[in-house]
Every structure is written in C-alpha cells, then in structure tokens.
Amino acid sequence: MPPDPVLCLASASPRRRDLLATIGVAVEVRPVDLDETPGAGEAAHDYVLRLAREKALAGARLSALPTLGSDTAVVCDGAILGKPAGREQAAAMLRSLSGRCHEVLTGVAVSGPAGVLATCVTTRVFLRPIKEAELAAYWATGEPADKAGGYAIQGLAAVFVEHIEGSHSAVVGLPLFETAELLARQGVPLWNGALPSGPMS
C-alpha cells in the first residue's frame, strides 16, 4: 500500500509532487487558485516568496496536514518571464535567454506547527545559442506551452543548458535541500518515515 500522506501540496504541479516523492514525502494534492500577477515594482524575490506563502496558507485551509506552497520565476534583465501566451511569445522568451545567463528564483513556504516558514533559492542557468529552427521545433513538441520562461530544464530543453550554478531541483520546481530543512522544522518526516522528523543539523 502507498504511504499515508504527511504533507499537503498546494499545487497541481506533477513535477513538485514527483520531487517530494524522491525524498520520501507522500502528499495529498490540494491545488489553489490565486492571482499570480506580480505587483507594480515587485522584485522577483519578493514575488515568489509572496506567492509561496499565499499558496501555503490557502492550502492549509483545505487540509489538517502541514502545507507546502511554491512558486518559480524565470528572470532575465530584471523582467519576470511567465508562461508564454503562444508560439511567438515563447520564441521571444527563448531568444532573450539564448547564449547567455539568466536566473531562476523558486520560493517555497511550509505552513505548520512552527507557523509559516519560507525561503527563496536563486539558480543561475546558462543556455547555449539557440537556432531559429530549434525554436520552431521545440514549440512543436508542446513542452514550452505551460512552462515559465518557455522551457523545461528537466525535459527536451536540457540540450540547450550548458551549465547551472545552484540547485537543479529548484529550476524544476522545488529546491529539495532547502525544502527538506523546512519540512524537518515543521515535524514532517522524510524517507517515508525512515528518517525521524526534527532539525537536520
């Protein structure tokens, strides 16, 4: 039998659910619907932390379990790149990222007995130059349509990534090292209960 959930995930993202499963955290999924429009002049760091906290609090109203909320933003030249509205916007996003470095910021918050604990992780991603034919072919795969910044590092776009500085899992959707620390502080066990809950250091 599958393990009983020990955490509420306030997100429909299969990537976040799968990442939590890799560290042995079974979840109940309770997606929340929030306005994710950045505030006027809101910095990317503040934006992802705000949304992570809001999602965790909204999800906590639907569950008795500690609740995790998270948000990821791709940032280039100070601009937050969300999910592309269509082919042309996706291509424009990838052109702006082509052959250079950009940042991916992921905020994660866990609501539980210790209140709402949150952190933000920044990862620098370096993409090789991307050809126009590759942009068209990549869009045709369907992968970029629902991805912030118009690409998925864990998917077909991995061929564009020269290297990263920081957390790969954070770019996918959840920084596992930092998330494990927050979960431990909220008393959520890891490794399907094989690792007792509590501070990890």
Catalytic residues: 71
Task: Please state, in angstroms and rounded to a whole number, the distance separating the CA atoms of residues 52 and 181.
Answer: 16
Task: Please state, in angstroms and rounded to a whole number, the distance separating the CA atoms of residues 180 and 157.
Answer: 27
Give the C-alpha distances (Å, rounded to integers) separating 51 from 16, 105, 114, 130. Answer: 15, 12, 19, 31
- Which residue is listed with tokens 């979960």? 183
| Dihedral sign of CA atoms 30, 189, 167, 116 in order | positive
Instruction: Let me know: does 103 contact 92? Beta carbons within 8 Å.
Output: no
Angle ∠(165,153,181) on CA atoms, nearest 5: 60
Read off φ and ψ for residue 150, nearest 5 degrees.
Answer: 80, 20
Amino acid of residue 183: L
Run of H or E residues at 120 = strand 115-127
